[in-house]
Amino acid sequence: MKGVASIRSKCNSITLPTRSKRPTVGSHCVTNNIDEASWIVIGVCDDRGVKNNLGRIGAKQGPEAFRKMFYTQSLGHTSPKEKSIYDVGNLKLTKNILTTHEKLREIVDQIKSQDEKKKILVIGGGHDIAYGEIAGCIKRDQKIIRNHIINIDAHSDVRPYEKNKTITSGTPFYRLITEAGIRGEHYHPFGLQKPSNNNALVAWMLEHKVDIHWLEDMPSNEAQMKKFHELLQQMKFRKWHLNIDLDAFDVAHAPGVSAQAIFGVSPNLFLNLANYKSIFESIETLGIYELAPKYDIDGRTAKLAAKLAYQVMSIC
């Protein structure tokens, strides 16, 4: 891939953890040749958006905690393919959130412009980073935007800017719909909780025809699985993005997040993804956000994030 040096110059290099006693994701799946990789990994150690949203800071350590769990994970019966992952390191942050998002957008655009088959995993950081992740797949002169987004989250994240056009962790999908051209009906938030979304946000989503999936309408694991699988079927033959805000899961599974949840979706949603292999072939990006290790217990949330990424990358 041309310009790989340019991409790496925009990121801080990292040392990937590996284990030698048995095959791991780090020893088996990582490559130093970007051309042979099917997945490009980018970390964004930025939680300024969380702070602006009055949330608990700490997600800037998310990429490091994720990598420690992900790359040292032993290979199982299924795993990401050999030499399928190229990690460019962590994005070098700029002085403000807006230009940081634009820098990420440019990197994603550069990768996809040279090889549209490559898939990108972005590890945050605050959920505001999803704007750069997804907008990077949308050409500025593209007249019709057909990209779909499934966002597993307790919060809709369609908040308008705060005073003085301040970006927060709650603004990414507002910006993607109002600025990047994503259609409201192509945004599919899954697992939203009614106490976590005020009347103004709900009214905005209804006005823009957002495809809302409330957790309250899916009180059992079975109901969640049924709805999630139906939603995945809708992505067939479409370009789509999967975002996972770890606060979508209850605190027993995800204590180390910016905003803990008492109720939440089940991680079991990701157990049968192999049945949807053809659908995941058209996924553009995977974003995992709000991992805040300082609040974690026994690395529980980092393990969850690593397992979720493992499950998706194993079938792509």
Question: What does the pLDDT look like over 104-128, one tens digit per residue?
Answer: 999 999 999 999 999 999 999 999 9
pLDDT at 30: 96
- Minimum mean pLDDT range among 52-61, 136-145, 207-216, 288-297: 136-145
Q: How many domains does the chain have?
A: 1
Three-state SS at 152:
strand
CATH code (residue 156): 3.40.800.10
Answer positive or negative: Cα dihedral of 182, 188, 191, 196: positive
- In DSSP terms, which residues pair with 119 in a beta bridge? 39
pLDDT of residue 141: 76
Model confidence pLDDT, tens digit, residues 195-246: 999 999 999 999 999 999 999 999 999 999 999 999 999 999 999 999 999 9
CA–CA gap between residue 112 and residue 260 (Å, rounded):
34
193-205 in b/e form (b: 16+ CB < 10 A) is beebbeeebbebb
Return d(Cα 173, Cα 160) in angstroms, integer: 9
**Angle, in degrees to the nearest 10, between helices 300-314 and 62-70:** 60
Give buried/exposed letters for 135-146 (b at 16+ CB in 10 A, else e). bbbbeeeeeebe
Helix (H, G, I), strand (E, B) or coil at 244: strand
pLDDT at 19: 67
Domain extent at residue 258: 4-314
Q: Is residue 140 pLDDT above 90, yes or no?
A: no
Q: What is the pTM of this model?
A: 0.97
